[in-house]
Amino acid sequence: MEFIDSAIEEYSRIFSGEPSTLLQELDRETHAMILQPRMLSGHLQGRFLSFFAKVCRPTTILEIGTFTGYSALCLAEGLAIDGRLITIDINEELETFTRSFFDRSEYKHQIDYRIADAKDELTKIEGPFDLVFIDADKRNYALYYDLIIDKMSPGGVILVDNVLWSGKIVDEQARDKSTQALRDFNQKCLDDPRVDKMLLPLRDGLYMLRVR
């Protein structure tokens, strides 16, 4: 993911405010104890997710791909008072670690944390969703999109992470399955007349899709 100038990124972090003490602890513990800690959204993207959710004030948030819960807690900062956030992850080995941080947060009773295969779980959730964050297995991005697009609220927003894939997305020599799946997904979104779209070069690429 290190394709954005590090000094610019650090400057951006400094001027984007501080995450909560709990989030800072979650960041440290994830890096100390969990494999592949780079999957964590982290400071800059986390502040963006929090800011965006606070602007939208969603009643229903859906997250596909929980990891250790950092992004879910950031998104929850913008929930409406009576809102709820459903977050789905298939990795049951992280459940105890992740749930311990959810349980210590002020959003404990608003977060519905599910260990399940999203491909199956999404068929059981009716919606509507005001805000969706997709950050799971890249080869299934298109499927997740298809499963949720008709369950979005009018004007609802879908945020999709890792769409620049460490810069590989524009590397013609990169032809692995995940990179190609992301290229296909990005094109699918660009061609979809149901959504307005904006791709931001934030961290590893964040696609913003607003349902018309």
Which domain range does residue 65 map to? 6-211
User: What pLDDT, on the 0 to 100 scale, is given for residue 104?
Assistant: 98
The answer to the question of residue 162 being in a domain is yes
User: What pLDDT, on the 0 to 100 scale, is given for residue 1?
Assistant: 56
The answer to the question of residue 125 being in a domain is yes
Number of structural domains found in the chain: 1
User: What pLDDT, on the 0 to 100 scale, is given for residue 166?
Assistant: 92
Q: What predicted TM-score, i.e. pTM, was given to this entire model?
A: 0.96
CATH code of residue 109: 3.40.50.150
The answer to the question of residue 32 being in a domain is yes
Spans of the chain, pLDDT less than 70: 1-2
Q: What one-character-per-residue DSSP string does the chain give? A: -TTS-HHHHHHHHHTT-PPPHHHHHHHHHHHHHSS-GGGS-HHHHHHHHHHHHHHH--SEEEEE--TTSHHHHHHHTT--TT-EEEEEES-GGGHHHHHHHHHHSTTGGGEEEEES-HHHHTTT----EEEEEE-S-GGGHHHHHHHHGGGEEEEEEEEEE-SSGGGGGG-TT---HHHHHHHHHHHHHHH-TTEEEEEE-STT-EEEEEE-
Q: What is the pLDDT of residues 99-139, one digit of tens each?
A: 999 999 999 999 999 999 999 999 999 999 999 999 999 99
The answer to the question of residue 1 being in a domain is no
User: What pLDDT, on the 0 to 100 scale, is given for residue 99?
Assistant: 98
User: What pLDDT, on the 0 to 100 scale, is given for residue 2?
Assistant: 66
